[in-house]
Chain A
Amino acid sequence: MAKKVLVVDDDENTVKFLTAALEENGYEVVPAYNGKDGLEKIQNERPDLVLLDVMMPKKTGFVLFKQLRRDEQYKDLPVIMLTGVAEVLEDLDAQSGDTAESPYDSLREAMRKSIREMREEGLVKPDMFIDKPIDPELVVAKVKELIGV
């Protein structure tokens, strides 16, 4: 039976081409267009892996991710974050607040807080970050790495 991948992104086009790429490689794809929708699909469809966008209406990717990690049932579910700010997340530890003030500070601060909370609770980081613009072939390769074909 084909492995099931849930793609959660509010951008229809992203969902569309990721679906094409994954299906091309033998995966079954379930689409969701916001965080709330994503959670429902996780509960109903039992995917093997979740591709999760961060900036989404109705429950951001981070909120959904935290919820999954806190849930005994889903805490080991592989998640790939489709975030345009992956580098910020990866560099969180290295950063010491020396960046010039920018309008994105509040966003960064919110993410720092999320990550801090997750660490304090002993929750792991997402399995992977893939920055936008997304290379569909890279996504497929990472999915294979995490759950096989």
Chain B
Amino acid sequence: MLKRIPIFWKLSSAFVIILLLLFVTLRGLVATPGLPLIIVFAIALLLGVGVTWLLVDRCINRSIKRVADGMNELAEKNFDFRLAEDEISEFGPLASSFNDMADMLSSSLIELKKNRDYLEGILESSADIIITVNASGKIQTINSGAEHALGYHRLEVIGKSVEVLFTDPQERKVMAQKLQYAESVVNYETQLLAKNGAVRDVLLTLSRLRNPTGAIIGTIGIGKDITEEKQLQAQLIQSQRFAAIGQVFTGIQHSMKNMLNACKGGAYMVKTGLAKDDRKMLTEGWDIVQVGITGLTKMSLDMLKYVKDFKPTVNRVDLSETLTEIYQVIRQTAQDKGVDVQLQLPSSLPAVVCDARMVHSAAMDIVSNAVDACLWKEYHTDEKPRVTLRAYPSPEAAELVIEVRDNGCGMTDEVKSHIFTPFFSTKSKAGTGLGLSIASRMINVHGGRIEVESEPDSGAMFRIMLPVDGKNKEGIHGKKSAGG
């Protein structure tokens, strides 16, 4: 009830009451007849003013001081401070407002702290290296991922130039320069220097750090430590290299031992023939040694051929002649092995821009393989081992197709996928395992390709596709072409 009366009226009434009381009191106490009434009143007035002043000081100033103290408490980050609200004074509502404000401030701060903790948690729990740098290149924050990767405690580096973390400080400058023209530099591969001197390979992404008004206040760098990955990668490359070398060695050994077998066996016969003065055995043994030597020589030449660049000497040629030549060479030897070879040529073939010797070599290899494939098959019915060599222009006439078809043992998909691999051979005796890979390269340098179709036990069909006008600039896309 009292609280509702305005302060002015409260103080005025207090002043009047005090004045009257003083006046009456003084009148009674100072009963001096000669003292005029006006002086008594003046004294009462002075005392009244004094007493009222004391009251005002108590009521207003102290309340203001309390609010000011409260403000100071908040400024001192004592956000739990609250003013007592139950005072019977005009400042009760003020205290209440103050407290409401402090409540809001407090909850906003709790919310802010929660958000900050959350963000800091993300930065801290990230395994990546996260470092922020101010505009002058000094480290501002560094997360535990960075501490872990680089071996520093944050207190050791905060405030220092970020360049100390780079193996090559120049690199930091290069990145900073790049950042002048872009908002970020993404996945820059660099090397950071750990405290113990170890070099860490890092994939670094730098972004500009801006304040809410958009002004640049520094840089944030997020780095992924890829040291282990790089080591593994290097190990993998190394082991792949060893595996590849191993594969080549296995292949060479595989091919060589059949030839050495002939040398060794032939040499035994030569030795025995000499010891027994058996000329027949000596001659036979020597012939076998020759077979081994010839094989080894061919293999050595093939290896040389394989590694050198194929530079075709091209002319526009009619390949009928080349194919006829192959047919004539192979027909008799195949016949001796019970394989029938046929040549089917149209009355005229389009002339092809190619190196006829290379095409001869590649086609010859494929035809001999076809004959061999027949030897490996057990023919049950009245089917006879047969190899057909054909040539014809492709439907668009842009290519010449040389087709070699046999009804031999065929190939599994696995074998088919390896036939162009160097040193891969399914043949037990002859063969260096290089034939088809050389053939394929010889055709590839012409812009052509070799296609293969085969199923186990149902023969195989090889097609050499040669662009009629020489190396095709557009490239021809076939279904199952041989890699080169």
Contacts and interface: CB of A to CB of B under 8 A. Distances in A.
B303 interface: no
Interface string A16-41: 11101100100000000000100000
A136 B288 CA distance: 14
Given A17-B266, A103-B421, A136-B265, A56 B288 contact: no
Interface stretch (B165-173, B313-321, B372-380): B372-380
B250 A17 contact: no
Given A57-B375, A103-B418, A133 B264 contact: yes
Interface stretch (A6-14, A42-50, A73-81, A116-124): A6-14
A20 B258 contact: no
B272 A18 contact: no
A135 interface: yes
A132 B261 contact: yes
Given A10-B429, A102-B247, A133-B264, A17 B258 contact: no
* Interface SS of A by simple majority: loop
Contact of B261 (A14, A55, A57): A14
Contacts of B254: 84, 104
A20 B260 CA distance: 18
A11 to B, nearest CB: 4
A53 B243 CA distance: 28
Which of B414, B427, B429 has the most chain A CB within a 10 Å cutoff? B429
Nearest to B243: A100
A133 B263 contact: yes
Q: How large is the interface on A (under 10, 10 to 19, 20 to 34, 35 or more residues)?
A: 20 to 34
B334 interface: no
B136 to A, nearest CB: 54
Nearest to B256: A133
A84 B284 CA distance: 24
A102 B418 CA distance: 9
Given A57-B377, A133-B264, A13 B428 contact: no
Nearest to A55: B428
Given A84-B258, A135-B264, A100 B429 contact: no
A58 B372 CA distance: 12
Contacts of A13: 262, 265-266, 288, 291
B483 interface: no
Nearest to A135: B264
A113 to B, nearest CB: 13
A137 interface: yes
A53 B261 CA distance: 13
B378 A36 contact: yes
Nearest to A59: B378
Contacts of A14: 261-262, 265
The 7 lowest CB-CB distance pairs between A and B, nearest first, are A55-B428, A17-B265, A100-B243, A103-B424, A133-B261, A133-B260, A57-B376
11 contacts: A13-B288, A17-B285, A20-B272, A24-B272, A53-B428, A84-B428, A102-B247, A103-B423, A132-B258, A133-B263, A134-B264
Interface of B: 239, 243, 246-247, 250-251, 254, 257-258, 260-266, 268-269, 272, 281, 284-285, 288, 291, 375-378, 409, 412, 414-415, 418, 421, 423-424, 426-429
